[in-house]
Amino acid sequence: MQICPGHIYQLDNSEFVLIIDFLEKDKYSFIPLTENLTGGNKITEIKFSQKLLYPVIREASVISAERILQEIKELEKEKYDKILRELVKHSAQLYLRNTKSVAARKYIPASGKVIGEAELDNMIEASLDMWLTAGRFNFQFEKEFAKFLGVRHALTVNSGSSANLLAITALTSHKLGNKKLNYGDEVITVAAGFPTTIAPIIQNGLIPVFVDVDLQTFNICVSQIEEAISEKTKAIFIAHTLGNTFNIDAVSDICKKNNLWLIEDNCDALGAKYKNKHTGTYGHIATFSFYPAHHITMGEGGAVATNDTSLFEILMSLRDWGRDCYCSSGKDDTCGKRFEQQHGKLPFGYDHKYVYSHLGYNLKITDWQAAIALSQIKKLPEFVKTRQQNFELLKKELLKFVDYFIFPEATENAAPSWFGFWLIIKEDVQFSKKELVDFLETNGIGTRNLFAGNMLRQPVFTDNSYKIRVRSSGIKQSSELTDDDFMLLPSTEAIMNRAFWIGLWHGITSDDIKEIVEKFECFFSGVNQ
């Protein structure tokens, strides 16, 4: 008897099975269609031995898939939906398995994503839901993400940059009373990093105050913070650079002493710990990016997290058009007083759904994005471990070039979740950063700068007159900054001129690392000749 994929067979214990695929001799994958089809059912493998075949499967019970599905549909809609979903997912998995063979790598990128069948499954589920906007996957992801971090509230947004914008904007809310940030207030940050840690400070009418970074850790130079504080300073907004945490104890102490808000840009450090607690849980608000280069991805996406329920409500309002109502998408009247309240100078009972308490944005994500992230977060601990192992291996192997480089150091008390492996070229060597980077790139090793280098030198600053301060200086126009100002940040300048980073992400293998090290050896054999 021939077993045909797509047909349904009845076993002699009366169960129906839908044969999905021929795997190998006498082995098929199938979906059980009856008793077993409760909760979390997956396509399972079945082995039909030659001997068992005839007694187990009744010849006469070969019925068309369409007919039995029709019967099941009439009996139980939920089961029917589940079977069809499994079928669609299985076909997609077959496509993935048969088309996406791993080609030999010609280039080892500095960052990347690792996604597979679980993500595809979830994307298909989200497609079949056709909910489109943030729905069940999003709510589950927000819950699991908050649980992973150990934080009370997490809210998804459509990028890490949006998360940064939301975090700073939230601190300007009138709901914070006299703790709110006002136009012209100052926020301490660093110039060696990503532009959208700084942009929302200026976009909110605030003044960024730049202090230098430390060359070993790439993070804020704590000893310079207090001298930069003025009576206008209201917040510190800094990143855990390339996965290495800043000195959280020292920065938090300064914030407490000076009554400052602390925002952690955790976009590059998801999974990092400081004193055994996740980064992103120490500040008043933390931000995250799920762009494909990051520790987990949802395509485009990000999140904000906080332990403070008042801040959470402000963040949610600003993310969702500025609305006062906090009903989930698709829900009405969560508060039970939808038409029973007085808001502003609106008529009494004006529909709470259309009451606005902030000048907001719409920064929400779709359920497809959340569906991907929900699969990714399950793999996060493994991804972080791989990054940590790759860091150790790269450092061990590249230390032979210690005459040429300053190497990265984890901050004291930190277990970094590395984003990249940076190297700072020493000052007195016989090659330039450009020569080494060009060599690596043309030999298949991806490299990156620490993003903007010195942000103050970027055209957006030199071609515009934004108010800024550098360390303890007075307020200056960004277009009028000179070399003297830039030299107030010597380590930032050194990073711009002499540092770069290479990949250690969770798709990098020990063979890749071997290849990276060989390319460095090759370069230095030329330099030393």
Question: Which residues of this chain interact with ligand PLP, rule CB under 6 A?
Answer: 159-161, 164, 193-194, 196-197, 239, 265, 267-268, 289, 291, 302
Compare residues 436 and 455 and give the one whose CB is closer to ligand PLP: 455
Give CA separation, 224 vs 219, 477, 502, in Å. 12, 21, 29
From the list 90, 153, 278, 294, the catalytic residue is 294
Shortest gap between Cβ of 369 and ligand PLP (angstroms)?
12
Task: List the 16-24 sheet strands across, edge first.
Answer: 8-10, 16-24, 27-32, 44-47
Give CA separation, 150 vs 142, 145, 255, 305, 474, in Å. 12, 8, 22, 10, 40
| CB-closest chain residue to ligand PLP | 160
The structure tokens listed for 158 are 């459509």
- Report phi then psi at 306, rounded to 5: -160, 155
Shortest gap between Cβ of 289 and ligand PLP (angstroms)?
3
- Please choose, from the candidates 147, 148, 91, 149, the residue with its C-alpha nearest in 3D space to the C-alpha of residue 124: 91
Compare residues 422 and 520 and give the one whose CB is closer to ligand PLP: 422
Shortest gap between Cβ of 212 and ligand PLP (angstroms)?
17
Compare residues 125 and 268 and give the one whose CB is closer to ligand PLP: 268
Compare residues 212 and 300 and give the one whose CB is closer to ligand PLP: 300
Task: Compute how many other C-beta atoms are within 10 angstroms of the C-beta atom of residue 460.
Answer: 15
Distance CA 232, CA 253 (A): 18
Distance CA 1, CA 7 (A): 13
Shortest gap between Cβ of 209 and ligand PLP (angstroms)?
18
Compare residues 72 and 163 and give the one whose CB is closer to ligand PLP: 163
Shortest gap between Cβ of 267 and ligand PLP (angstroms)?
4
User: SS in 3 state form for 274-295?
Assistant: ECCEECCCCCCEEEEECCCCCC
Compare residues 48 and 290 and give the one whose CB is closer to ligand PLP: 290
Compare residues 221 and 365 and give the one whose CB is closer to ligand PLP: 365
Q: 294 catalytic, yes or no?
A: yes
Shortest gap between Cβ of 300 and ligand PLP (angstroms)?
7
Using an 8 Å Cβ cutoff, are 352 and 337 in contact? yes
Structural Rg of the chain based on CA atoms: 28
- Please choose, from the candidates 371, 379, 392, 303, the residue with its C-alpha nearest in 3D space to the C-alpha of residue 113: 379
**Beta bridge pairs of residue 10:** 16
Shortest gap between Cβ of 380 and ligand PLP (angstroms)?
16
Using an 8 Å Cβ cutoff, are 327 and 313 in contact? no
Using an 8 Å Cβ cutoff, are 137 and 370 in contact? yes
- Report phi then psi at 362, rounded to 5: -120, 105
DSSP string, 35-97: TT-SSS---EEEE--HHHHHHHB-GGG-B-HHHHHHHHHHH-HHHHHHHHHHHHHHHHHHHHH
Compare residues 93 and 189 and give the one whose CB is closer to ligand PLP: 189
| DSSP assigned state of 224 | G
Shortest gap between Cβ of 263 and ligand PLP (angstroms)?
11
As annotated, the active-site residues are 294
